[in-house]
Amino acid sequence: MSDNIESTLTETRHFAPSAEFTENARLKPADLEALHQKAEADYEGFWCDLAREKIDWQTEFTQGLDESKAPHYQWFADGRMNVSYNCIDRHLEVRGNKTAIVFEAENGDTRHLTYRDLYNEVGKLANALKGMGVVKGDRVIIYMPMNAEAVIAMQACARIGAIHSVVFGGFSADALRDRVVDSGSKVVITADGGERGGKVVGLKANVDKALDSNPGDVEKVVVCKRAGNDVTMHADRDVWWEDAVDGESVDCEPEWVEAEHPLFLLYTSGSTGKPKGIQHSSAGYLLGAIVTNEWVFDLQGDDVYWCTADVGWITGHTYVAYGPLAVGATQVVYEGTPTVPDAGRWWKMCQDHGVTVFYTAPTAIRALMKAGPDLPKQYDLSKLRLLGTVGEPINPEAWMWYYTTVGEERCPIVDTWWQTETGANMIAPIPGATTLVPGSCTQALPGIAADVVDEDGKSLGADEGGYLVIKKPWPHMLRTVWGDDQRYKDTYWPKFGGKYYLAGDSARRDSEGNFWIMGRIDDVLNVSGHRMGTMEVESALVAHKAVAEAAVVGRPHDVKGEAIVAFVILQGDRLTGDEAEEMVKELRNWVADQIGPIAKPDDIRFADGLPKTRSGKIMRRLLRSIAKGEEITSDTSTLENEAVIPQLQGKA
Ligand code: PRX
């Protein structure tokens, strides 16, 4: 990825919004300026006014920001509301018959759900969950394909105040079990299987595997019929979704929860230990989802929005399951791969459904650009008016292709920087007001105090690289790490006297004040826009009986951003030739079983030892150079075991 950064350092192209876009945009330059001024003059009042305007409250709040438990900040704490009510019920009168979700399956089957349909489906499932004894505060795991039912399940939990934790359908049974146990979930909602690339992924079978060895607190498993594959149903535990909702009323009175009531947990990787359950609030989170969908995606009445993210990631929470519904938009949901039957699938879908606002990740753009650079031209993309990206810095080449070939030089691109922890976009262009520079996420949104600082917390000048921090608590920030307040403090507030939120990214600002994200400061990899802790992959590798020690690093990859390279020391002798090849295959599959296919190392190298200093510390910087295939020019004579270097380089 650093190569991309290098090329963006010299980027000078600027793209100002067209007069036509600005004319029709929700926020014009003067509106944006006014928002910034208001946020600066009265930070708390700014957010409180928005919270009153954008959210329907059952009980109005009187408190804005409460810092008494810092860094566990609270917002609007004495107010009561319900997220599902705000996403569905409040639209029924004016747009009950408007399409909320257009669902398309990989085989082309399409289904439209109106806001009224959504109300009915969510109400029935919410009542069924209540019937199973799920009450406010109980945790529910959702392990589903990317279909409308996944969104319905999330909304049903929100409706009754249950805290959902969505586990990406690509994660393995082991990863699922860890999350079931850590969250203490009572119910798992899953499907028989999901379809991807024409193959069926046995989701229910994975749930069985996870629960058979350690059921944790799980009492019930709800199974949605989707792929039609054979599954085993456990008599007292498992129930088909359609049987569970049969006879249930569509009306389910929302549980009016406190603003701070946890809406969901979402597990994400860090540099140490197992993934942590990032805990988000109800009202503050929803406010972030609403304002960013309005400001950054400019969502308006007749837009057809499509965010391609899976609900297993934060983007699929804020820009699929909650935000677009809260603002009453029509959105596309697709279960399948972007290359079936060919790399024009997404562009065909944009044409067929008249998509106007499209949001995806740089890795997908690069893959589709490689697989079919001219395919967008075969489709009528004239309805598109705005494009977005998220997950990693976008290299200028991919940006330009997205801009010219997909967006036909008409659509602004919003490059949105944010994280699982931040809940919603934090640094991003406002499409009717901001001048775009390829590779930069441009400027902080109104009410977001982002800055780049040095080791002492001092703001840095133009083009000086440092820590990306947020200097004031914001409504949609994480509240804690589930069950581990200490880890929350240690991870996000370890510096600067505990006053600034440490994002874990390094960044710089240019002379125009635009932010450029330079990469992680910790051992977190960004593989196809997904976070992966090097330690997680290392732990998975050393859990294999043949492995004595392992070190994992990233190396730049043209499509995925970063690829995973593992240096492995086996028990016994180093393997070579066919035996080594067999072991590489076995270890890759092993990691896929332990975590999921996205964590499979791209490259595994065997050696007799890892390069260590005489005090026993693994020289990760050296491993990174080796992984990139760079010549080793630094002095390695201080290493305890210099002889392993040529082995790791594949030269001995
Ligand atoms: O390193 C940054 C990168 O992705 C990290 C957050 O990952 P995750 O929590 O999985 O959320 C991804 C989707 C919000 C960040 O710390 N990142 C995210 N967006 C960008 C980015 N890097 C550069 N530019 C972006 N637009």
Mutate to test the pocket of ligand 1, among 365, 419, 477 (most ligand atoms within 8 A of CB): 419
Binned at pLDDT 50, 70 and 90, residue 9 comes out as: low
Give the closest residue (by CA) to ligand 1 atom 22: 392
Q: How do residues 126-165 score in pLDDT, each as one tens digit? A: 999 999 999 999 999 999 999 999 999 999 999 999 999 9
Residue 392 Cα, ligand 1 centroid: separation in angstroms?
Answer: 5
59 appears as a binding residue in the annotation: no
Q: What percent of the chain has pLDDT over 90?
A: 88
Mean of the pLDDT values across residues 325-350?
Answer: 97
3-state class (DSSP) for residue 161? coil
Given the CA of residue 421, which atom of ligand 1 is nearest to it? 9
Residues 519 and 540: their CA atoms lie apart, in Å, by: 24
DSSP annotation of 18: P
pLDDT surpassing 50 at residue 356: yes
Q: What residue has token string 């049987």?
A: 243
Mean of the pLDDT values across residues 419-427?
Answer: 98
Note whether 546 and 582 are within 8 A (CB).
no
Residue 269 Cα, ligand 1 centroid: separation in angstroms?
Answer: 12
Given the CA of residue 394, which atom of ligand 1 is nearest to it? 24
Residue 113 Cα, ligand 1 centroid: separation in angstroms?
Answer: 31
pLDDT surpassing 60 at residue 2: no
User: How many CB atoms lie under 10 A from the CB of residue 198?
Assistant: 11
Give the closest residue to 362 by CA, choosing from 645, 594, 635, 556: 556
Q: How do residues 66-109 score in pLDDT, each as one tens digit? A: 999 999 999 999 999 999 999 999 999 999 999 999 999 999 99
Strand partners, 567: 551, 605
Verify whether ligand 1 is closer than 6 Å to residue 428 (CB atom): no
Both tokens of 313, joined, read 């990631």
pLDDT surpassing 60 at residue 5: no
Give the closest residue (by CA) to ligand 1 atom 11: 419
56 appears as a binding residue in the annotation: no
353 appears as a binding residue in the annotation: no
Both tokens of 170, joined, read 């690509």
pLDDT surpassing 60 at residue 1: no
Q: What residue has token string 């690289």?
A: 465
Verify whether ligand 1 is closer than 6 Å to residue 276 (CB atom): no
Q: At 334, phi and psi to the nearest 5?
A: -125, 130
Of 9 and 533, the one with more pLDDT: 533
Which pLDDT score, from 0 to 100, does residue 501 have?
A: 98
Which pLDDT score, from 0 to 100, does residue 4 have?
A: 39
Give the closest residue (by CA) to ligand 1 atom 26: 417
Verify whether ligand 1 is closer than 6 Å to residue 482 (CB atom): no
Which pLDDT score, from 0 to 100, does residue 7 have?
A: 44
Angle, helix 203-213 to helix 173-183, in steps of 10 degrees: 60
185 appears as a binding residue in the annotation: no
Residue 425 Cα, ligand 1 centroid: separation in angstroms?
Answer: 10
Does residue 362 have a cis peptide bond before it, meaning omega lies within 30 degrees of 0?
no
Q: How do residues 450-503 score in pLDDT, each as one tens digit? A: 999 999 999 999 999 999 999 999 999 999 999 999 999 999 999 999 999 999
Tell which CATH architecture fits domain 523-647: 2-Layer Sandwich (3.30)
Q: What residue has token string 């359908």?
A: 169
534 appears as a binding residue in the annotation: no
633 appears as a binding residue in the annotation: no
> Exposure pattern of 157-181 as b/e (b: 16+ CB <10 Å)?
bbbbbbbbbbbbbbbbbbbbbbbbb
Verify whether ligand 1 is closer than 6 Å to residue 226 (CB atom): no
When computed from its CA atoms, the radius of gyration of the chain, rounded to whole angstroms, is 24
The mean predicted confidence, pLDDT, of the chain is 95
Distances in whole angstroms, Cα of residue 164 to Cα of each of 134, 190, 210, 279:
11, 13, 18, 10
DSSP annotation of 460: P
Q: How do residues 278-303 score in pLDDT, each as one tens digit? A: 999 999 999 999 999 999 999 999 99
Which pLDDT score, from 0 to 100, does residue 10 have?
A: 64
Give the closest residue (by CA) to ligand 1 atom 7: 419
Which pLDDT score, from 0 to 100, does residue 523 have?
A: 87
Which pLDDT score, from 0 to 100, does residue 128 have?
A: 98
Mean of the pLDDT values across residues 415-421?
Answer: 98
Binned at pLDDT 50, 70 and 90, residue 6 comes out as: very low
pLDDT surpassing 80 at residue 194: yes
Residue 184 burial (10 A CB sphere; 0-12, 13-18, 19+): middle
Mutate to test the pocket of ligand 1, among 265, 308, 416, 417 (most ligand atoms within 8 A of CB): 417
Q: At 141, phi and psi to the nearest 5?
A: -90, 135
Mean of the pLDDT values across residues 196-224?
Answer: 94
Which pLDDT score, from 0 to 100, does residue 3 have?
A: 38
Mean of the pLDDT values across residues 313-333?
Answer: 98
417 appears as a binding residue in the annotation: yes
418 appears as a binding residue in the annotation: yes
Verify whether ligand 1 is closer than 6 Å to residue 1 (CB atom): no
Q: What percent of the chain has pLDDT over 70?
A: 98
Verify whether ligand 1 is closer than 6 Å to residue 417 (CB atom): yes
Domain boundaries, the chain: 523-647
Given the CA of residue 504, which atom of ligand 1 is nearest to it? 16
Q: How do residues 23-46 score in pLDDT, each as one tens digit? A: 999 999 999 999 999 999 999 999
In this predicted complex, what is the ipTM? Answer: 1.00
* DSSP letters for 502-528: EEEEEEEE-TT--EEEEEESSSEEEET
